[in-house]
Amino acid sequence: MAQLRRIKGFADLLPDDCRVYAHMEQTAREVFTRYGCQEIRVPILEKTELFARSIGDETDIVQKEMYTFADRKGKSLTLRPEATAGVLRAFIEENLDAQGDDAVKLYTCGPMFRYERPQKGRMRQFHQINVEAVGQAAPQLDAEMILMLTMFLRQLGLTALTLEINSLGCPGCRPAYQDALQDFFKGMHKERLCEDCLRRKLTNPLRVLDCKAPGCRELVAGAPVISDFLCPECRAHNDTVLSLLDRAGQDYMLNARLVRGLDYYVRTTFEVSSRDIGAQTAVAGGGRYDGLVKSLGGPDLPGIGFACGMERLALLLGAKQAKPVDFYLAVLDPRGLDPALLLAQTLRRNGLCGETALEVKSVKSHLRRANKLKARYCLLLGEREIETGNVEIKNMLDTTQQTIPFENILAVLTPEEF
């Protein structure tokens, strides 16, 4: 019989992995809370239309990467490929703007799904930590979100990262830039632009800027830059954001070719990347999406958000050690099994952390196990102890050892001691 295996691009996160993921989530929670963010959890399954409308029909995500299927009544549903659409849907549906706040800041984390070929740092099911801030168009919010992201990453101990920033303009000024780009690419011969870009220059000329083909990069170097086309409002917005980052001591690089893959971004876009995790370098990315909430049927509110890829952060973080435990209870005589379990229960009721042996073994083998668990104390319960009503307590760190009456254990093993 063939063994059942996990499906392609879906990973089991084992205990060693989960410690790292829990650490990321805990750090995010702690840092984001300082900024007034609150947690929200939304379904991972939504109507297909939600993603098609928000992410953009022309994007690769919608065209070929979504897990879409019909439910039992024929409704088209999709496993979320990103979090923003679902969070904003909830924001609208639950009237979260009715609180009278300047901006509603929400974070969430969980699995996302994209049907792509897996490779290093790219899974079909992957995990993101996501933040959305809705209700404010002020550039100060852009700066705050970027600073919050970098504080989070620094708190995780990650420093060898690059922050890149760009402005994509707004519906007012971007068309002029797109026209200029199209003009620029119009005369380009097939030998110079790659196949994809020949198509892109008509459908979404901004994407050509992001192409990694050597020929295209060469060409793009001479292409018009968005900053020359920004309207006065976008320019002022961008200047304020950059100035605030400067004054906050935040390093960054301007990247006029930074174009994000989702259609809804306007003005500020940003990306954090690493060279140390393979070909997929982006660890976090986001931008402003004024207009998106309205286009999803909500009030006309501006917003900005970002996502962090947890798999990619995990590649940078490395393994996290298992925590030591307080005790391990070794049983050397069958009559000790019941008392051991009850004793362990008492210790745990008092806040201690540890395990009890479930079968009788040699002292040596018990101590080896205690050592492996990194137990601070190994309690021994054998024939001698049972007959005298004592327990032998061995301190695993300094190897000292004492015999004490069963009922006095808590006097020795107090939580304060740890």
Partner RNA sequence: GUGGAUGUAGCUCAGUUGGCAGAGCACCUGGUUGUGGCCCAGGGGGUCGUGGGUUCAAGCCCCAUCAUUCACCCCA
Q: Which residues bind RNA (CB under 7 A)?
A: 5-9, 59-61, 65, 82, 114, 116-123, 126, 128, 196, 200, 207, 210-213, 260-262, 271, 278-285, 307-309, 311-312, 332, 361-365, 367-372, 380, 382-385, 392, 394, 396-397, 399, 401
In the complex, the smallest distance separating the C-beta of residue 271 from RNA, rounded to whole angstroms, is 6
DSSP 313-379: HHHHH---PPPPEEEEEEE-SGGGHHHHHHHHHHHHHTT--EEE-SS---HHHHHHHHHHTTEEEEE
In the complex, the smallest distance separating the C-beta of residue 405 from RNA, rounded to whole angstroms, is 15
Residue among 142 and 311 whose Cβ is closer to RNA: 311
Residue among 8 and 75 whose Cβ is closer to RNA: 8
Distance between CA atoms of 143 and 242, rounded to whole angstroms? 8
Residue among 36 and 261 whose Cβ is closer to RNA: 261
Counting Cα atoms < 13 Å in the Cβ hemisphere of 56 gives 14
In the complex, the smallest distance separating the C-beta of residue 349 from RNA, rounded to whole angstroms, is 24
In the complex, the smallest distance separating the C-beta of residue 285 from RNA, rounded to whole angstroms, is 3
Residue among 59 and 167 whose Cβ is closer to RNA: 59
Residue among 138 and 223 whose Cβ is closer to RNA: 223
Amino acid (one-letter) located at 155: Q
Handedness of CA 165, 169, 170, 174 (dihedral sign): negative
Residue among 40 and 282 whose Cβ is closer to RNA: 282
Q: Are 67 and 73 in contact (CB under 8 A)?
A: no
In the complex, the smallest distance separating the C-beta of residue 82 from RNA, rounded to whole angstroms, is 6
Distance between CA atoms of 158 and 394, rounded to whole angstroms? 40
Q: Which helix (H) or strand (E) holds 108?
A: strand 104-113
In the complex, the smallest distance separating the C-beta of residue 100 from RNA, rounded to whole angstroms, is 31
CA-based angle 230:234:237, to the nearest 5?
A: 140
In the complex, the smallest distance separating the C-beta of residue 17 from RNA, rounded to whole angstroms, is 13
Residue among 189 and 212 whose Cβ is closer to RNA: 212
Distance between CA atoms of 146 and 153, rounded to whole angstroms? 11
Q: Which two tokens stand for residue 25?
A: 């989530």
Residue among 186 and 372 whose Cβ is closer to RNA: 372
In the complex, the smallest distance separating the C-beta of residue 65 from RNA, rounded to whole angstroms, is 6
Query: Residue holding tokens 């070719």?
Result: 257
Q: Are 285 and 307 in contact (CB under 8 A)?
A: yes
The neighbour count for residue 266, using CB atoms within 10 Å, is: 23
